[in-house]
Amino acid sequence: MAVVRLFASAREAAGLSVDRIDGHTLGEVLDEARRRYGERFAAVLTHSRVWVNGQPADVREPLRDADVVAVLPPVSGGSDPDFRGTRGRISTPSSSGPQTRPPLEEPLPLTKADSQSPSGWFRPPDIEGALARMAPPVPVAEPQLNGKRAAAAPVRRQPLTAVPDTDKPHVRLGLAWSVVTIAAIAGGQTSLAIWLSLVAALAAVQVTRVWVERHERPVSYVAVAGAAAMPLAALGGLDTLNIIIVLVLVVTMVARVSTVTKAPSRDVALTLMIILPIGLATAALVLLRHIDLAAPLALFAFAAAYDVGNYLVGTGAANEWEGPVAGIASIVCVTLFVAVLVPSFGGAGPFLLGALAALLAPLGPLAASIVLGDRDAKAPALRRIDSLLLLAPMGAWLAAVLIR
């Protein structure tokens, strides 16, 4: 993956100064850059010079991993030798007509890519022309962390709230999920651990695929295996689960150190961000099942009730907050049901657990959006357990305290 550095007007047109783009040749990288950054950047690139690893390069130049591609637009004529020779002369009007200023560089005609790639246009090879006359990069000062940031364009953050959609059989899938999970809870700790291990593995696979499609490099096999192992480790109790968490951390770091990447610490953090939320949410129910049958059923009922209310109201709501409010109202109904029919908690226990569910269940989909990096990313298995991401670990701890 080549590292693309943009300077001056190219950086302004693209909105960033450094990016990573896949491509076997320089032409493919430039082609992808035009497609990614738009027409304004393509216009700037037409008059720009391109270097690879500090040397002039042709679009047919093959690229290796970690090669640096620099896009150097003309800056006040300083990058064109023909124009530099005219800077010291002052032009005066003459009777023959107005004087025309020589262009910085004559743009090359656009031609279709040899590979017929639909993603854009790029310049043809021109060894004798503009690409061969590339000048050294013009140093551009990078913005200081403590400097003035008023001139920087603010980045618009995407909302994290996941809006329910109706393009899939959500109701039937939700009913099947609830029936199988309740049956697994009733079947015992082992059946619940096996079922949630499969769900965790599928969710980790989908989340890993989302990040890989963005050219990130989480340790995929560790992410999937770690998320699937945590519910099974919960069969051995909390001590076994803690051992698995430490082992996953060590294996992730060793795997990334053995395969050198550009950002190993980022890869490790991304891998753990996939494993821990999914693994803890599923392992918490298994740990709680070891204590009592009613506790994991009540906790799952809170999450299921929130999902039902959020989906039924949120799919047709004009505002994003209406679905979560309906989900919280559903939790209130389940709380009353648990207070009357589940004697395990006693006293104010059901209401404390219901209040915790009303607080954390709406935050679960937001946490899932953070794990995915985009609320619109497709990860159905993760979305199926998103209301449990925060509720299950905290709710299992509170339920265990109330029962004991």
Q: What is the CATH number of the domain that holds 58?
A: 3.10.20.30
Q: Distance (Å, rounded) from C-alpha 27 to C-alpha 389?
A: 44
Q: Is 128 helix (H, G, I), strand (E, B) or coil?
A: coil
pLDDT on residue 24: 85
Neighbours of 94 (CB within 10 A): 8
pLDDT on residue 15: 84
Position 101 in a domain = no
pLDDT on residue 156: 56
Judge if 215 and 69 occupy the same domain.
no
pLDDT on residue 131: 42
Judge if 180 and 76 occupy the same domain.
no
Confidence class for position 89, pLDDT limits 50, 70, 90:
very low
Q: Which domain, by its residues, includes 55?
A: 2-80+108-133
Above 60 in pLDDT, residue 91?
no
22-43 residue pLDDT tens: 888 888 899 889 888 888 888 8
Which residue bears the tokens 């990069």? 137
pLDDT on residue 159: 58
**How are strands ordered across the β-sheet holding 68-72?**
18-21, 2-6, 68-72, 49-52, 55-56
Q: Which residues pair with 72 in a beta bridge?
A: 49
Position 350 in a domain = yes
Position 396 in a domain = yes
Confidence class for position 74, pLDDT limits 50, 70, 90:
confident
Position 149 in a domain = no
Judge if 201 and 330 occupy the same domain.
yes
Closest listed residue to residue 370, CA positions, set 215, 162, 212, 226: 162
> Of residues 202 and 77, which shows the higher confidence score?
202
Judge if 387 and 259 occupy the same domain.
yes
> Of residues 348 and 239, which shows the higher confidence score?
239
Position 206 in a domain = yes
Closest listed residue to residue 364, CA positions, set 157, 159, 161: 161
Exposure class string for 66-78: b at 16+ Cβ within 10 A, else e: ebebbbbbbbebe
Which strand (E) or helix (H) includes residue 51? strand 49-52
Above 80 in pLDDT, residue 168?
no
